[in-house]
């Protein structure tokens, strides 16, 4: 339940070689904890020490692991982007299903993920986009890149659907994918608001409908 052991005794100087968690492990835990908190509350409402505390790392150590909160945020964005890219691949490249089925399976998995945290956590990228006016400008381009990445993975799947004749080859797959992600973020927002997976499902249903198929989900 808790993210880390609450407080082991803490010594001051350099830790003995074989006792301490290695640098990269601690760094990873900080990123993990940061992701959990920022997906729930966004960037500006979460303080550094809240994250540090949850991992049992003393406040003074933050700048040993990261240059600043801004840089930390940048790493979170990229970690989240990659995490989700992997998840997308897991579903969208799964040849056991048709391309459209893969999308549905991805959506179902994401919905389950939101439910697991009582709809308190959303999409980090969406959260930050919404906060944009409070954020360091350096985040803007990075957020866009993440979306672009997700979109092109989705577009590839849609193109496959086209060559397999599952959807019409006339529509621009890239644009459909952009469009999916735009709407998806809206659906995530409403899922948080309503505390229900319904918006996610309804949106997806409509999207697949747009693709030209009738019976879905």
Partner DNA sequence: GGAACAATTAGACCGGGTGTCTAGTTTATG
Partner DNA sequence: CATAAACTAGACACCCGGTCTAATTGTTCC
CB of 48 to DNA, least distance (A): 4
DSSP, residue by residue, 151-192? HHHHHHHHHHHHHTTSS-TTS-HHHHHHHHHHHHHHHHHHHH
Lookup: tokens for 66: 């990261």
User: 111 with 200: CB under 8 angstroms?
Assistant: yes
Query: With CB cut-offs between 5 and 8 Å by kind, which of a copy of itself, DNA, none does residue 68 bind?
Result: DNA
Query: With CB cut-offs between 5 and 8 Å by kind, which of a copy of itself, DNA, none does residue 131 bind?
Result: a copy of itself
DSSP assignment letter at 61: G
List b or e across 117-149, with b for residues whose CB sees 16 or more CB atoms inside 10 angstroms: eebebbbbbbbbbeeeeebeeebeebbeebbee
Query: With CB cut-offs between 5 and 8 Å by kind, which of a copy of itself, DNA, none does residue 32 bind?
Result: none
HSE value, Cβ hemisphere, 13 Å, CA-based, for 50? 12
Is residue 193 involved in binding DNA (CB under 7 A)?
no
Task: Identify the residue among 62, 106, 150, 181 touching DNA (CB under 7 A).
Answer: 62
Chain positions 22 to 61 lying near DNA, rule: CB under 7 A, are 22-23, 46-50, 57-61
Describe the chain by its helix, strand, coil percentages, rounded to 5.
Answer: 70, 0, 30
Is residue 97 involved in binding DNA (CB under 7 A)?
no
Identify which range of 18-26, 142-150, 178-186, 207-215 contacts DNA by CB under 7 A: 18-26
Binding-residue total with a copy of itself (CB under 8 A): 43
Task: Identify the residue among 133, 163, 165, 215 touching a copy of itself (CB under 8 A).
Answer: 133
Task: Identify the residue among 178, 197, 201, 208 touching a copy of itself (CB under 8 A).
Answer: 178
Is residue 134 involved in binding DNA (CB under 7 A)?
no
In sequence order, which residues have a C-beta less than 8 Å from that of residue 73 and are 6 or more positions away?
38, 43, 135, 136, 139
Residues that bind a copy of itself (CB under 8 A): 40-42, 44-45, 119-122, 126-127, 129-134, 140, 143-144, 147, 175, 178-179, 181-187, 189-190, 192-195, 199, 202-203, 206, 209-210
């Amino acid at each position: 339940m808790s993210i880390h052991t609450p407080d082991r005794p803490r010594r001051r100087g350099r830790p003995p070689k074989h006792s301490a968690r290695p640098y990269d492990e601690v760094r990873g835990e900080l990123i993990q904890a940061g992701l959990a908190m920022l997906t729930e509350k966004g960037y500006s409402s979460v303080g550094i020490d809240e994250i540090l505390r949850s991992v049992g790392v003393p406040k003074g150590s933050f700048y040993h692991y990261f240059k600043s909160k801004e840089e930390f945020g940048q790493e979170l964005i990229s970690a989240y982007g990659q995490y989700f890219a992997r998840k997308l691949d897991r579903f969208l490249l799964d040849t056991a299903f048709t391309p459209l089925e893969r999308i549905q399976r991805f959506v179902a998995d994401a919905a389950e993920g939101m439910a697991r945290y009582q709809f308190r956590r959303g999409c980090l990228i969406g959260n930050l986009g919404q906060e944009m006016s409070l954020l360091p400008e350096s985040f803007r381009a990075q957020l866009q890149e993440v979306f672009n990445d997700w979109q092109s993975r989705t577009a590839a799947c849609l193109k496959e659907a086209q060559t397999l004749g599952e959807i019409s080859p006339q529509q621009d797959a890239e644009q459909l994918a952009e469009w999916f992600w735009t709407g998806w973020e809206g659906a995530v927002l409403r899922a948080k608001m309503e505390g229900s997976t319904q918006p996610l499902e309804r949106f997806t249903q409509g999207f697949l409908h747009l693709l030209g198929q009738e019976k879905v989900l």
